[in-house]
Amino acid sequence: MQDVIRIDLKRGVQVEKRYKKLTRAERYDVQVLGRITLESSDGKGDSYICNTLNVSLSGALVETGSLIPMGSLLKYSFCMPGFTIPVNVIGEVVRGEKDDEDERKSKPRVKVQKMYRYGIIFLDMRDEDKKAMESYLIRCQNMPPQPDPGA
């Protein structure tokens, strides 16, 4: 919701409320490898392998062993199951975990690779990539739920 205030000294103050419908795209759990390349001014951004945990037409949740600053612009590439050509998007890190320094200090003898999860919003995607994702996500909708292997 956005409030717009207009002031007319002869008539007083008029307030208009504009409502913006917020929609959240349906997310689908996946387990695919991806690659994140951070954008940089010199064109040589750091690149990381990541696990894609879920995906929608508007973004993805990924997991990697590297710290990525909030607000980072990046190239994100992943290949959906059943497709041979990767989807490439430009995105921004909009949600993430912080490094827990206290936890590392309390367990100095144990060398465990901490994984960090990041929410990426898609900012730019080619039409053919969007169509491929739509096709894949429609297929996901029509698939029956998979049984839990641990049950």
Average the pLDDT over each of 3-7, 21-25, 94-98, 124-128 and give the range with the smallest value.
3-7
Query: CA 53, CA 7: separation in Å to the nearest integer?
Result: 49
pLDDT at position 105 is 56
Q: Is 2 within a domain?
A: no
pLDDT one-digit tens code per residue, 51-109: 999 999 999 999 999 999 999 999 999 998 888 889 999 999 999 875 555 555 555 56
Rg of the chain over Cα atoms, rounded to whole angstroms, equals 21
For residue 20, is pLDDT > 60?
A: no
pTM value is 0.68
Query: How confident is the model over 25-33, as a mean pLDDT?
Result: 84
Cα–Cα nearest to 125, from 89, 93, 91: 89
Q: Is residue 77 part of a domain?
A: yes
pLDDT value of residue 41: 74
Q: How confident is the model at residue 11 (pLDDT cuts 50, 70, 90)?
A: very low
- Domain of 103: which CATH number? 2.40.10.220
> How many separate domains does the chain show?
1
- Whether 87 maps to a domain, the answer reads yes
Lookup: tokens for 75: 């190239």
Q: Looking at residue 1, what is its pLDDT?
A: 42
Supply the range of the domain harboring residue 118. 23-142
For residues 53 and 117, what is the distance between their CA atoms, to the nearest angstrom? Answer: 9
- The average pLDDT across 27-36 equals 89
Amino acid occupying residue 6: R
113 within some domain: yes
DSSP string covering 43-105: S---EEEEEEEEE-SSEEEEEESS---TT-EEEEEE--TT-SSPEEEEEEEEEEPPP-HHHHH
Structural domain contains residue 5: no
Summarize the chain as % helix, strand, coil (round to 5).
15, 45, 40
- Would 90 be classed as within a structural domain? yes
- Judge whether 14 lies within some domain: no
Instruction: Note whether residue 150 is domain-resident.
Output: no
Q: With CA atoms as reference, report the closest residue to 73 among 108, 30, 20, 37.
A: 37
